[in-house]
Amino acid sequence: MSVNRRNFLKIAGSSAIILPATACSTGADSARLPWRATDSYSDPMRRSLSYALLAPNPHNKQPWVVELTSETQATLMCDLDRLLPETDPYSRQITIGLGCFLEQFRIAAQEFGFKADITAFPDGYDDKKLDARPVAHLRLSPLEQAIPSPYFAHILNRRTNRTLYTEQVPSSQTLEAITHDLGEGILAGFTNAPEPVARLQDITVIASNIEFDTPRTYMESVDVMRIGARENNETPDGIALEGPMKEALHRLGFLTRKNLADMDSAMFRTGREDYARGIKSAHGFVWVNTPANTRLDQIKAGAAYLRLNLNATAHGLAMHPLSQALQEYVEMQEALGLIHHLLDIEDGARIQMFARIGYAKPVVPAPRWPLEAKLIQA
């Protein structure tokens, strides 16, 4: 039986083609090498950094650069060519990702018997714009006794899972346990109650559609989509579109960057609808707030989000950050105010991370650049 173009798109559309790689599609293997290379480093700095670079970060831009001073000292910088000026105009999310990186570094160092002293923004910062000043100085000193971290065991299994979640509702007890005690000054929240979940789904879908329908913000995602194993191996960052179905669509010329960029195309519509379907499958949401919104708050929010994501992993829960309603560009202003109002956030406080949480099939790890690509020698 032959499959004509229209039917083929229908079949493809019904199988969530735009959602990134699932567990059965491990195509781009060298892109995942850093997930298996963590223990190939003998000095404590490189070894801890090899875990840090597996941290969650917006659009998987991996904006970190580390200048090594010695086997125990280094400086973390932000690669200013890896910002997201349209969806993240003040680099708030990029800074949160750097906070995730620093916390994963600290957890790994502790596991290997080192205390990590992290001085964030030692030369100061600009709240509106990240600049060439260091993000953090890192210094390791041996602990008298290793203090194993409860988080460490979950680093290699942590994922962002964008697939559909099952009907199983995460329990209040579990959500309470994983959002508890995420760091000083951090206020985390959750809901699994049908009515607030429905309202949060609605505002999140509206916000997601605003990002999809605004060409300059949508294109920021298209620019980082890596289609097929070859592209992911060559450029192991951004959002991976892989798996047998996507490879086939790509070979046949349906799944291309040009089609994805065409806002009248079936590919665009499918991507937009799939994202909304993912949101609508959620039976729980979690969020991380800070009392203010300085760079230091954002770094702390990253640490808190990382711990939350690792806690969720430990409990067998999947998570998917949904940042659209939290973004600062003009088209999103109303949604940003609305979500703060819905979650009853005090004046001046800021929701830094908002994510759906639930049960889902596992997904493969996201690509990463190897550590060597991110190091510079002082």
Ligand X SMILES: Cc1cc2nc3c(=O)[nH]c(=O)nc-3n(C[C@H](O)[C@H](O)[C@H](O)COP(=O)(O)O)c2cc1C
* Nearest CA-CA partner of 18 in 187, 255, 212, 326: 255
Q: How far is the CB of 321 from ligand X (least distance, A)?
A: 4
Closest residue (Cβ) to ligand X?
A: 56
Q: How far is the CB of 56 from ligand X (least distance, A)?
A: 3
Helix ranges restricted to H, the chain: 5-14, 44-52, 92-111, 172-179, 194-213, 215-222, 228-234, 244-251, 257-261, 266-280, 295-314, 333-342
Structural tokens at position 200: 């949060």
Among 25, 50, 75, 93, binds ligand X (CB under 6 A): 93
C-beta of 118 vs 207, nearer to ligand X = 207
Beta 73-78 vs 64-68: how paired, if at all? antiparallel
Residue 163 found at the interface with ligand X (CB under 6 A): no
Give the relative orientation of helices 266-280 and 5-14 as an angle to the nearest 10 degrees.
20
Q: What residues numbered 328-357 form the site for ligand X, per CB under 6 A?
A: none
Q: How far is the CB of 197 from ligand X (least distance, A)?
A: 18
Note whether 48 and 357 are within 8 A (CB): no
Residue 159 found at the interface with ligand X (CB under 6 A): yes
Site string for ligand X, 310-329 (x = CB under 6 A): ----------xxxxx-----
Structural tokens at position 207: 């916000």
Site string for ligand X, 45-84 (x = CB under 6 A): -----------xxxxx------------------------
Q: How far is the CB of 159 from ligand X (least distance, A)?
A: 4
SS (H, E, C) 238-250: CEEECCHHHHHHH
What does the alpha-carbon distance between residue 246 and residue 254 come to, in Å, rounded to a whole number? 9
What does the alpha-carbon distance between residue 273 and residue 163 come to, in Å, rounded to a whole number? 13
Q: How far is the CB of 233 from ligand X (least distance, A)?
A: 16
Q: What residues numbered 245-304 form the site for ligand X, per CB under 6 A?
A: none
Number of residues interacting with ligand X: please give it, by CB under 6 A.
Answer: 18
Give the phi and the psi of residue 357 in degrees, each rounded to 5: -145, 140
C-beta of 34 vs 44, nearer to ligand X = 34
Among 83, 100, 135, 339, binds ligand X (CB under 6 A): 100
* Nearest CA-CA partner of 228 in 25, 15, 368: 25
Note whether 53 and 41 are within 8 A (CB): no
C-beta of 68 vs 272, nearer to ligand X = 272
C-beta of 9 vs 293, nearer to ligand X = 293
Residue 201 found at the interface with ligand X (CB under 6 A): no
Q: How far is the CB of 354 from ligand X (least distance, A)?
A: 9
Q: How far is the CB of 262 from ligand X (least distance, A)?
A: 21
Q: Mark the segment that binds ligand X (CB under 6 A) among 21-29, 126-134, 155-163, 252-260.
A: 155-163
End-to-end CA distance of the chain: 63
Residue 32 found at the interface with ligand X (CB under 6 A): no
* Nearest CA-CA partner of 360 in 286, 288, 278: 278
Residue 174 found at the interface with ligand X (CB under 6 A): no
Q: Which residues bind ligand X (CB under 6 A)?
A: 56-60, 93, 96-97, 100, 159-160, 162, 320-324, 366
